Amino acid sequence: MKKSLMIQLFIVNGRVYRDEALTDCIDESLAKDVRYYGDINADAFYVTIFADGDEGKDASIKALKEITKESEIPVMASFPIEREEDVKKLIYADAKKVVLNLSKQSNWDMLEDVSKRFGKDRITVSFDDYSNLGVYRKAAETYASGCFVFGGVKPEDVSAAIELPLYYSLPNVTLEKLLDITALESVAGVFGKVLNDSASSINSIKGLLSERGVSVSAFAAGIPWSKLRKNKDGLIPVIAQDYKTGAVLMLAYMNEEAYYTTLKTGKMNYYSRSRNAQWEKGEESGHFQYVKALYADCDYDTLLAKVSQIGVACHTGNPTCFFNEVASKEYAEKNPLKVFEQVYGVICDRKEHPKEGSYTNYLFDKGIDKILKKVGEEASEIIIASKNPDAGEIKYEISDFLYHCMVLMVEKGITWEEICSELAARE
């Protein structure tokens, strides 16, 4: 079982905070912060929600949706659950696991039903009273996939009573204590202020756990430096590529120290031939490159780094270093995702900058009912065309349908990235 290092966030009536003191609100930069924790190799978010009344709950669910929308790592959530509908709201907000406090009678009563409805893997439990765990054991193990442990109770005591993976709350503890608790066989994940404060060193903590033989999702050198074929200066060229768009960002070089520092920290480090020194990309500009994957080519003499680029890659201010055209010819883009993004971008531009005579603007002006009517009509056209022996007609109808779907997506604020994330999650 791989151990998870989790970041804890708090939502109070729709406002998002980093720490339990609720003094550090991140509403203004929520997307940036959520992505940051994924970039630095945190494994999951644990979101604790406090809400007053229906209005507070609605605002909090909306905030949770913003977190799950931006997050590349799983989100687990606890909520003032009063009825089964509250669990559904969390699931529909894309919480991967929902926490039911079984010390609350209404949660105990609905445990079996929500587990069967949404799946055991989506349900976890917690308790207020750890002195009576035997009462909950059978139900918890039958209908839940994990147990969240809070307070001063020892994880060993809970695991002795309930055989479920434990997600353990860490208050302010020493690094050594964090490592000891995470290494326990029953502990599946740890979270709390101690990790939030150590966010920039999560990869380092994982490195220490790996050295102790603890299984974690960490960067490790699958290919040792000695196996790579260096140039006469003992360096190897590295191509950095945006992991989302596929855009080639820059070319630089690594020495052995930069290679292993990159794997240890999760941030791209290079060797400057002009300065004869190692440097971390973004150390002065803040335009860091967080590693998503690192590959060697067939000859082991070039590396390809797929990265999350913060800001721009080039010192000139350009997104990529490759912007000086030498020669080119027109060609039709055939990459499906790029085509979708281009068409989507045009539709977004029409909405923001209306153009007279534009059919897209006509749809936006008519509103959601007209857009939905066209989506329905085009779906029907696909069905009719599919009955035609000429299969070629289908591509025209599907293209019309996808275009109108994209108009609907823009109208409702849904991006292709969200659609792709949802599809990827269904694998």
Strand segments, DSSP code E, in 184-333 are 187-191, 236-242, 248-254, 269-272, 277-280, 289-296, 303-309
Q: Does 220 fall in a domain?
A: no
Q: What is the CATH number of the domain that holds 374?
A: 1.10.287.1080
Rounded to an integer, the average pLDDT of 128-134 is 82
Is 70 exceeded by the pLDDT of residue 4? yes
Write out pLDDT tens, residues 354-380. 999 999 999 999 999 999 999 999 999
- Residues 109 and 30 reside in one and the same domain: yes
Per-residue tokens: 376: 């329905």
- Residues 14 and 151 reside in one and the same domain: yes
- Residues 166 and 276 reside in one and the same domain: no
pLDDT at 120: 95
- Residues 143 and 287 reside in one and the same domain: no
Q: How far apart are the C-alpha atoms of 76 and 293, rounded to whole Å?
A: 25
Q: Does 56 fall in a domain?
A: yes
Q: Are 134 and 102 in contact (CB under 8 A)?
A: no
pLDDT band with cut points at 50, 70 and 90 for residue 101: very high
Is 80 exceeded by the pLDDT of residue 333? no
Residue after which a domain boundary falls, among 181, 211, 241 = 211
- Residues 300 and 391 reside in one and the same domain: no
Higher pLDDT, 31 or 110: 110
- Residues 193 and 46 reside in one and the same domain: yes
pLDDT at 218: 83
Q: Does 314 fall in a domain?
A: no
Amino acid letter for position 55? E
Domain count, the chain: 3
Higher pLDDT, 75 or 173: 75
Q: Does 173 fall in a domain?
A: yes
Residue after which a domain boundary falls, among 309, 328, 344 = 309
Residue after which a domain boundary falls, among 176, 211, 246 = 211
- Residues 171 and 27 reside in one and the same domain: yes
Write out pLDDT tens, residues 174-197. 889 999 999 999 999 999 888 888
Amino acid letter for position 226? S
Is 70 exceeded by the pLDDT of residue 400? yes
Residues 6+ apart with CB under 8 A from 194: 170, 171, 172, 173, 178
Place of tokens 């065309």: 385
Place of tokens 């605002």: 59
Is 70 exceeded by the pLDDT of residue 166? yes
Rounded to an integer, the average pLDDT of 97-107 is 93
Question: β-strands 269-272, 277-280: how paired?
Answer: antiparallel
Highest mean pLDDT among 121-125, 326-330, 332-336: 121-125
- Residues 21 and 115 reside in one and the same domain: yes
Q: Does 331 fall in a domain?
A: no
- Residues 191 and 59 reside in one and the same domain: yes
∠ at Cα 366 (360, 370), nearest 5°? 90
What is the per-residue DSSP string for 311-348? S-SSTTS-SSS----S---------HHHHHHHHHHHHH
Q: Does 315 fall in a domain?
A: no
Q: Which of 253, 222, 260 is nearest to 237 (CA)?
A: 253
Domain range for 368 is 336-425
- Residues 189 and 298 reside in one and the same domain: no
- Residues 58 and 144 reside in one and the same domain: yes
pLDDT at 49: 95
Rounded to an integer, the average pLDDT of 237-248 is 93
Question: β-strands 289-296, 166-169: how paired?
Answer: unpaired
Q: How far apart are the C-alpha atoms of 213 and 183, rounded to whole Å?
A: 9
Write out pLDDT tens, residues 289-325. 999 999 999 999 999 999 999 999 999 999 999 999 9
Q: What is the mean pLDDT of the chain?
A: 91
Q: How far apart are the C-alpha atoms of 307 and 272, rounded to whole Å?
A: 19
Question: 316 to each of 114, 143, 189, 323, 370, how far by Cα in Å?
Answer: 55, 56, 42, 10, 46
- Residues 49 and 131 reside in one and the same domain: yes
Q: Does 248 fall in a domain?
A: yes
Q: Does 164 fall in a domain?
A: yes
pLDDT at 230: 96
The SS3 of residue 416 is: helix
pLDDT band with cut points at 50, 70 and 90 for residue 136: confident
Angle between helix 53-70 and 84-92 (nearest 10): 30
Question: 184 to each of 2, 149, 177, how far by Cα in Å?
Answer: 11, 14, 11
DSSP summary character for residue 216: B
Q: Are 304 and 241 in contact (CB under 8 A)?
A: yes
Phi-psi region of 16 (alpha: psi -120 to 50; beta: other; left: phi over 0): beta
pLDDT band with cut points at 50, 70 and 90 for residue 403: very high
Report the 10 Å Cβ neighbour count for 248. Answer: 15
Per-residue tokens: 372: 């939905």
Helix and strand element counts for the chain (H, E): 15, 15
Is 70 exceeded by the pLDDT of residue 89? yes
Q: Which of 367, 354, 346 is nearest to 411 (CA)?
A: 367
Amino acid letter for position 254? M
Write out pLDDT tens, residues 195-207. 888 777 898 899 8
pLDDT at 209: 93
Q: What is the CATH number of the domain that holds 92?
A: 3.20.20.70
pLDDT at 324: 92
pLDDT band with cut points at 50, 70 and 90 for residue 427: low
pLDDT at 143: 96
Is 80 exceeded by the pLDDT of residue 285? yes
Rounded to an integer, the average pLDDT of 3-28 is 88
Rounded to an integer, the average pLDDT of 57-68 is 93
